[in-house]
Amino acid sequence: MGEIMASELETRLREGEKLSVIDVREPDEWEDGHIKEAISIPMSVFVERLGELNDLEEPIYLVCRSGNRSGRVGDYLSTQGYEVVNVLGGMLSWPGEVVTGE
């Protein structure tokens, strides 16, 4: 599993790169503020929604509040054969714009 700093991911998205970003936080955390380009798939239902990853380009960038939950999801996805990148520091270190609500 790869790793990326939140600031580097923000720069790449701001420059228009089309990246697959999944936010694994729970719905209330998502609604409090998330990355505009991200998709919400909470860790609590991740396995049930695994099929949704088939439509995404790899690598898949995983984000949570601090990087712990996304790291655990990333370890799991790596064992399933996915190419994944954990966003270090998560939303706590996200320097960019956030969108609130669903």
Measured distance CA(30)–CA(33) in Å, rounded: 6
- Enter the tokens of residue 36: 């505009």
Q: What type of residue sits at position 73? A: V
- Which entry of 64, 84, 87, 88 is annotated as an active-site residue? 64
Measured distance CA(59)–CA(48) in Å, rounded: 20
Residue 45 annotated to the active site: no
Measured distance CA(83)–CA(51) in Å, rounded: 15
Residues annotated catalytic, as ranges: 64
